[in-house]
Homo-oligomer: A and B are copies of this chain.
Amino acid sequence: MSDFPVPETRVLAVASHVVYGYVGNTMATFVMQSLGCEVAALNTVQFSNHLGYGQAKGTRATSQEITDLYQGLKDSYLDDFQMMLSGYLPGAASVEAVGAIARDLKYKATMKPGSFFWVLDPVMGDNGKLYVAEDVVPAYKDLVRDADLILPNQFEAETLSGVKIVDMDTLKQAITMLHEQYRIPHIMITSIAFPTPGATPSLSVVGSTFTSDAKPRIFGIKIPAIDCFFSGTGDMFAALMVARFREAVTSAPGLMETAAWVSDDSVQSIELPLAKATEKVLASMHEVLSNTKIKRDEELEKYNKQVGGRDALSDEKKLRLVKSKAAEVRLVRNLGALKHPNVKFRAETV
């Protein structure tokens, strides 16, 4: 019964649902539950599968439906959330609807600093390309001012800050800008890749918790890249972060009762609860994804043998679908890696 890193934590999770596989709430719900959180999953879409397959069937909730579901919770006194995690939203109106929900929860918590914490994943695009409508960008820019922790990838950090990230200096500029301009207490950029010719491919995540005068305290963690594209890893990161950040904050005396869980100015970057949490998050992720890669390769080998007689390449579409399926994150059978991460990658000062 006490095998959980966090005290009972009620989380409102607003993101997409897929029937098959693990992205959005389908990923985040199990991850947070496995770490002992009570998760209220408000699904913004229901699709048969994630869009990496290139095709899917399903429906999107309207912003009114999102608002109504939250109203339903309020009507029955079911809105006593301590944390909120918001992910993919199907359009600017939904972004605004979710902003209204978060602000309502934040407002209720005004008299009790630290009693509500909002983790916002500003899902807009990746690798230099937007995959949401243009009007979603200003909607998010309006939203992030109220978030406690945002989890942009490199492209999203660039989009929000207006700073093109090409090296360490511009990375620092972007984070400084986000802290100062939007007053976001905590920032995690979930994937930074600078091209280094000849080096072993690696990914970095870079985070910061601002000081009392909104200056950054930046740390980074380098992890070996796994040579495969997985969907839902951003959602896994966010969900693990919800539980692990709360765990780290719980163990810092008085911090849970501090507004936005911002550590005292005396705390150095690599000692931040955000840094400690990120170490555990990345340890779990690396183990789960390494195990997934092994299973994926086995599955593809099996498929290749099976179609060996025929020309496998003749059915390119099927091959793409089979590859997408094989790369679905192996989540439920990796419970141990979620619960008991073996920390190997440590935060370093940037």
Binding-face segment, A52-60, A136-144, A201-209, A267-275: A52-60
A131 at the interface (CB under 8 A from B): no
**Which residues from chain A sit less than 8 Å from chain B, CB to CB?**
1, 3-4, 8, 12, 17, 19-21, 26, 29-30, 33-34, 36-43, 46-49, 53, 55-59, 61, 65, 68-73, 75-78, 318, 321-322, 324-325, 332-336
Expressed in whole angstroms, the Cα–Cα distance for A46 and B39 within the complex equals 15
Expressed in whole angstroms, the Cα–Cα distance for A69 and B19 within the complex equals 8
24 contacts between A and B (CB under 8 A): A1-B336, A3-B336, A12-B19, A17-B41, A19-B42, A19-B73, A20-B40, A26-B41, A30-B33, A33-B332, A34-B332, A37-B332, A38-B332, A43-B43, A43-B46, A46-B69, A49-B72, A55-B72, A56-B72, A57-B72, A57-B75, A76-B324, A77-B322, A77-B325
Are B20 and A48 touching (Cβ within 8 A)? no
* Residues of B with C-beta under 8 A to A49: 72-73, 76, 78
Q: Which 4 A/B pairs are nearest by Cβ-Cβ distance?
A: A48-B72, A57-B72, A20-B78, A57-B68
* Residues of B with C-beta under 8 A to A55: 72, 75-76
A190 to chain B, nearest CB (A): 25
Expressed in whole angstroms, the Cα–Cα distance for A48 and B72 within the complex equals 5
Are A333 and B4 touching (Cβ within 8 A)? yes
* Residues of B with C-beta under 8 A to A29: 29-30
* Residues of B with C-beta under 8 A to A321: 76-77
* Residues of B with C-beta under 8 A to A43: 17, 43, 46
Interface contacts beyond A19-B72, A29-B29: sample of 11 additional A-B pairs, CB < 8 Å, sorted by A: A1-B334, A30-B30, A30-B33, A36-B333, A39-B332, A48-B71, A48-B78, A55-B72, A55-B75, A55-B76, A58-B68
